[in-house]
Structure 1
Amino acid sequence: MGKVVSRILIAVLMVSAMGVYAQTMKSDHWSTAELLERAKHLKELALKGDGSASETLEKYPHHYTMLAYRQHSGGGEVHQNFADIFFIIDGHATVVTGGSLVEAKTTGPGEMRGKSVEGGSRQELKAGDVVHIPAGLPHQTLVADGESVTYFVVKVEEAR
């Protein structure tokens, strides 16, 4: 009889916990207009800094979302544990993928940065385009003089 009561108690606790979890779950929605409005602040930060700025919008168990603004080219980078998905909202840029990092340095766990990416493929990006960059693939975002790009990023944890 004790085993039956224990199993019932465990089942009740699990269902209760799932109910609490479901009540705290929510969806997130950002319109293009809202993202562009938020990006105005990032543009100000970029003008005061090195020409780029980003912010994390929301964190989830195995991914997170960001908004990024760039008016200058960035260096090369490799994320060993996260894939990048870029949704170009406004502007124009070129993404270089593949090849190798020039003057690569480890900047954190699973993160490498370099001066640039050498030997990669180039893809022109404009508003409405989407790019998926798998974890471990060197990449660099290039922005021409006088241009800028605003993009929504989903960073997805990939099991290796």
Structure 2
Amino acid sequence: MRKTVNRILTLALMVSAMGVYGQKMKSDHWSTAELLERAKHLKELAAKGDGSASETLENYPHHYTMLAYRQHSGGGELHQNFADIFFILDGHATAVTGGKLVDEKTTAPDEIRGKSVDGGSSQALKAGDVVHIPAGTPHQMLVADGESVTYFVVKVEESR
């Protein structure tokens, strides 16, 4: 009898936990057109600021999504615990990955920034391209004068 009660309690706890987890998770869908419309305000913020702007769209247990706009090159970055996946929605840029950060500085726990990336490999990007940058990899987004790029970002927590 005691075994049966323990099994029932364990099963009830598991079902309860799955129900709570299921209630917290939801599906999200954004069309390219919806994301580009939403990015219009990022373009305005970038023009008033340093030429780039981004916003977090949703947070999930082990990843989050963002929308980003750039009208000039960014500095080098390295995220020790998060991989970046970029989906280019509009415009053109060059992704530099690998190599080494120049004048690196820790800006937050497990987040390092630099003036640029030296010695990385370059890849031209256009609408429809997808880039995966593993955690711990220096990277930089370069935007040519007169160009801009809008991209959807998935930041995925990686265990090392």
The Cα shift of 1:120 comes to: 0.8
The Cα shift of 1:91 comes to: 0.2
SS of the equivalent of 1:140 reads strand
Partner Cα distance (2:37, 2:69) in 1: 12
TM-score, normalised to structure 2's length? 0.96
Counterpart of 1:30 in structure 2 is: 30
Counterpart of 1:145 in structure 2 is: 145
Counterpart of 2:118 in structure 1 is: 118
Partner Cα distance (2:152, 2:7) in 1: 46
Partner Cα distance (2:51, 2:109) in 1: 25
- Percent of aligned pairs with the same amino acid: 84
Partner Cα distance (1:65, 1:19) in 2: 24
SS of the equivalent of 1:42 reads helix
Alignment of 1:37-56 (within 5 A): 37-56=37-56
Partner Cα distance (2:105, 2:141) in 1: 18
State the aligned residue count. 160
SS of the equivalent of 1:43 reads helix
1:66-100 deviation line (CA, Å, top 9, x unaligned): 00000010000100100100000000000111111
Counterpart of 1:84 in structure 2 is: 84
The Cα shift of 1:103 comes to: 0.5
Letter in 1 for 2:25: M
Partner Cα distance (1:74, 1:25) in 2: 33
Deviates more, 1:75-84 or 1:1-10: 1-10
TM-score, normalised to structure 1's length? 0.96
Runs of 4+ in 1 over 3 A off after TM superposition: none
Partner Cα distance (1:23, 1:155) in 2: 22
The Cα shift of 1:2 comes to: 3.0
The Cα shift of 1:137 comes to: 0.7
Partner Cα distance (1:101, 1:24) in 2: 38
8 A Cα contact 2:25 2:60, kept in partner:
no
SS of the equivalent of 1:83 reads strand
Alignment RMSD, CA only? Answer: 1.1
SS of the equivalent of 1:84 reads strand
Partner Cα distance (1:135, 1:66) in 2: 17
Counterpart of 1:15 in structure 2 is: 15
The Cα shift of 1:9 comes to: 2.0
The Cα shift of 1:59 comes to: 0.6
